[in-house]
Structures are given as C-alpha cells and as structure tokens.
Amino acid sequence: MKSFQQHASERKHQEASFDKLYQDYCTYVGRKKAKHGDASRSSIDIDACRAHYNSMLIKDTVGRSTASASKLVNKSVECYTQDALSLMDKKDDSSFEQGTKASEPANPESGETSESTVPQTNRIKRKRALLQQETQEPWHSLTLALIDAVGVNGVKKPHIPPVPTNMPSDHKALFKHARDCIKEYLNGGSKETILIKDAMVSMSSVLNLFASGMDSYFSEVEMEAAREACLRRGFEENNAIVQVLSPLREVLQKRGMEQLQHRVISLRGEVALRAAEGTTKPGDCLRQQVLMVIETLCTLIMDPPYGTAQASEADCLYQWKTVFSALKSKNITIHTGEQILNASKVVKKGLQLEFGDMAESGRRCDLFFRSGAVELANIEIKSPTQSGSVPICQNRKNVRLNRCIQLALEELGMEDATVIGGDIVGYLGYFYSMQKFGDIHVCGPISSEVVFLPTNAAELEDFLDGRSLSVIFNFLRSLDELTVPATNLRLKRELRLARGNMMNIVGPRSVTPPPKAKRLSQTVILTPTKKRIEINGASRSS
C-alpha cells in the first residue's frame, strides 16, 4: 500500500508532466502562427493542432495510470489553442518560443538549473481563458499606459498611443481628453490625482459635465445637448410636499422650533389615528413620510447627537440615511457601512483577467440603494471638513461606480437605463443623471438645486420651502420606477442560467468561446491597485 509521501510524489510528477505537455503544445501553436505571419487566428488549422495535441497526449500517457491519462484527455484543446494564440498576440514569435520552453528538471550532475518564464502556467493562463471580452485597440493600449502612469507596473515612461484618425468623433474626443490628462499627469511635477481620475472617466465612455475643459473637446452644440439630456424640468418641485410644509413654515416663523416639533407630532398622530380607524385620506402616506422627516430634523437641530463638535462623516451619513429611509418605498433597501458594490466587483474581475494589474475585490461604498439583489444607485458622502480636490475626486469615483451600476442594468436587458447618483459633503449635496448620449454616455446635473439638510432654525425655515425635500423625494421615486422591470429581468436571467447549467449536466459541455472585442460603451475603468500574488509559494506585492 502506497504511503502518503508516495502519493504526493506521484501527484507532483503528474502535474509537472502535464505542465510540460501544455508548454510544448503552446510552442507548437506559436510556430504555426509564425508560419502564417500576421494572419488572423482563423488561419490556424485547429484540426491540425488537435491532431498534434492528441499525438503528444498518446506519447505522454504511455505507461500512466488510467486516472492520470483520463485527466489529460479531458482537457479542452480548443481552450489551450485560444490561450496560446492570446499569448502570441502579446509577444513576438521569438520571445514566445523562448518563454514557453519546457521547464525541465534540474540536472544535478552538470550543476545546471532549468529556467522557465512561465512559472504560473496552470494558474494565470487558464484563469485568463475565463475572459469573455477584451478591450479593443487603441483603448487597450491607453489603459496599459494609465496603469503604467500610476506606477502599478513601475514603468516611468509609459507608451501613450496616438490619437487615431478612423474613430467616431465622440469616441475620439474622449480618447484625446484621456490621453491629454495622462500626459499632463506625467509631465507635471505635482502629480495631480484629478487628472488620472478624469482620464478614467473618459475611458469609461462618459462625457462628464462636471469636469473642466470638456468644451475644448466637444462642440458647443454637443455640450448644450448633453446638458439638456441630463436636466429634468421640475425635478425640484412637488406640490403635495409643498402643501404639507407651508403651514409648518408659518408655525416656525410665529411660534418657534419647539412648538413646530409639537405640531408635527400632533399631525402625525392624526394621520396614524385615521389609519387605525380605516378612514385614511388621499396623500396620507406621503404626509406621514414628510412629517417624519421634519420631526427628525427638529430633533437634530435642538439636540444634535455630536453636541457642539463638528459633525463627522458618520454623523452626516446617519442623518442622510434617516431622511432617505423615511421617504423611500418598501421596494428599496439602503446599504451603508462600506459594503462592496457588486457591480464594481464584476468590472474589477474583468479588468484583472485582462490586465492582471487590478485587485479583484470591488469598491467599498458609503451608501447605495438596491431592490432585492439589483443595485440601483450609489451616493458618496464626505465630512463637512473636506475641501479642495477631495470632493472632486469623490465625484470622479462615484461617476464610475454609477457607470458600473448602469452597465449591470444594461446586461440585464435595460438597454437605455438611466442611473441617478449623488455626491454629498456634510449636509450639502447634489444629484446627477447618467444616461446614453449617442454612442457614449453623459453625466450631468439633474437639477440646478443644491439640496441640504438644515442644522439650525434659519436653515430649517429655508428647507420648509420644499425644494430640497422635493429633489430628494423625486430621486427616490425615480429609483422606485426601476425596481419592477429590473427585478423581473434579473429573475428571467437567473432562469436562463439555471436552464443552461442543467443542459450542461444532461448534454455535452459547452466550450468556452474566445474573447469578444469590448465596445467603448461596455467599458468601465476603475482605479488600478497593487495586489498580492503568490510566486513559487512566496507572497509579494505586484
């Protein structure tokens, strides 16, 4: 009976033999491609590759156990062929053949040690085969230049591709803006982070109306059309809310804050009594929500939880969440506490598979809204002490996170989905829309109103004019309009996936198709970060 050490040694030998077989096959495919010059992948004779692979397999499995041979036979030749061709697209033929030499065991008699430039073949290359879409050129090269510019790869002078001539005008404008931002970042001594953030927004197919200088890349007509596309007339108006607030404003002006709070509590009791008796009036639901918000704000002003100190980010987040919770529908849930946005996790995974220089984990967010498992919008919050470039960088980050949400909705089937996001600093905030604009996307203010939560009696009097509260309510109502179609599309998608998985069980397994070219409208670029990888059992930062 074999010992544990014998089993481990045999398994290690089998794995090494399989890696050698894989590398030999990659070399064979590389020679086939070199023979055809710069021809496309379709010029490679897959049948000939398969025959060669099978012949290698037969030689390699002679004398092996049945289980070991079966393990090799079950591998997909199509997957390996496409994998090898993908590597050939990145390297020339000579470096490919040199880099894919078999990692032969060391010869102790001669004192030589073998070298292999593919130490992680069975992990990185097979993992990359999971990539479904590849960024098309020249956007792929521009992304590599950005990754090099921020120092992830340690490249001091990255190659920045030139502006192409055969590109649609709106794509060319975004490309030129991103390219100029990267060049200015590299040439400037201060290394302005905003420049890199602006570049990533443009590379995410977004014309950001909050960025300065965009009128240098787009015509005046295009900029005006983009502003009109984002703006929603009457977004800061809601007559039902004004009718509830107008009497309360008079109470505040004549009798003061404490009497206002008593009046609000009394009105809430009247609405609750009608609900208990079954004699509710039209608009009682909205009336109760608005009164709940005003009562909360009165408590915040008269007895602030943080005392006389400056409100922290957590304090502001709590108050905004309380207001949102009072006005939202039951179909929407609110998530805080630096939770990961799933839509960003999917995007990060794709970037990591393609470029290898992105951490796989998604981005953590301050506050986002969901309907079931469908994410609807994200809001970033900073403390009132933040100023300068911090709120600007926050906007660029949040624009890309809401693009991730929009991309996830589009993949569900909502082709023209509009996502409304927001940025908040302290108790001040603004909302903006993200939507299709021709073949790209545009992000701009949805209203000219800067919303606020009052922190004293004078601000509360202005708040009771209803404009800020109307914007907040209309924002939440816009999210509610997405809940039913988004949830239905997600349930249909889950059913399709379940049926597909069942077919893989009862029928032949499908072969993973080669990566498709990713259109600019399908691209989102998140901040590249250094990640930790394992090489030969040791961990180091990449």
Q: How far apart are CA 99 and CA 15, in angstroms?
A: 19
pTM for the complete prediction? 0.73
* 414 CB neighbour count, 10 Å cutoff: 17
Of the two residues 481 and 121, the one the predictor is more confident about is 481
Across the range 482-494, mean pLDDT stands at 86
Q: Which of 70-74, 91-95, 304-308, 334-338 has the highest mean pLDDT?
A: 334-338
- Looking at residue 394, its pLDDT comes to 93
CA distance 193 to 317: 25
**111 secondary structure, DSSP code:** T
| Tokens matching residue 467 | 């404009």
Of 409, 482, 399, 401, the closest CA to residue 445 belongs to 399
Contacts (Cβ under 8 Å, ≥6 apart) of 466: 238, 241, 242, 245, 246
Average pLDDT over residues 433-460: 94
Query: Is the pLDDT reported for residue 314 higher than 70?
Result: yes
Mean pLDDT across 197-210:
96
Q: Is the pLDDT of residue 446 over 80?
A: yes
Helix (H/G/I), strand (E/B), else coil: 453 = coil
Mean pLDDT of 373-382: 95
Of the pLDDT bands very low, low, confident and very high (cuts 50, 70, 90), residue 123 is very low
* Residues in a beta bridge with 539: 534
Distance CA 227, CA 224 (A): 5
- Highest mean pLDDT out of 70-74, 93-97, 354-358: 354-358
Question: How would residue 65 be classed by pLDDT, with cut points 50, 70 and 90?
Answer: very low
Residue 191 Rama label (left phi>0; alpha psi -120 to 50; beta): left
Q: Say what the pLDDT of residue 71 is.
A: 44
State residue 100's pLDDT score. Answer: 39
Give the phi and the psi of residue 123 in degrees, each rounded to 5.
-110, -55
- Residue 3's identity, in one-letter code, is S
Measure CA of the first residue to CA of the last residue in the chain; give whole Å: 44
Bigger pLDDT: 69 vs 16 = 16
Amino acid 42: pLDDT: 43
C-beta neighbour count of 419 within 10 angstroms: 27
Q: Is the pLDDT of residue 477 over 90?
A: yes
What is the mean pLDDT of the segment spanning 343-361? Answer: 79
* Side chain identity, residue 392: I
Amino acid identity at 459? E
Instruction: Report pLDDT for 154.
Output: 65
Q: Which range is least confidently modeled, 146-155, 234-243, 256-265, 479-488?
A: 146-155
Burial 271-296 (b: 16+ CB within 10 A, else e): beeeeeeeeeeeeeebbbbbbbbbbb
Most distant pair of Cα atoms in the chain: their distance? 100
Instruction: Report, as an integer, the average pLDDT of 351-356.
Output: 80
Q: What are phi and psi of 96, to 5 degrees?
A: -65, -50
Per-residue pLDDT band at 475 (split at 50, 70, 90):
very high
Q: Find the range with the poorest average confidence among 120-134, 141-155, 333-347, 490-504.
A: 120-134
The share of the chain scoring above pLDDT 70, in percent, equals 69
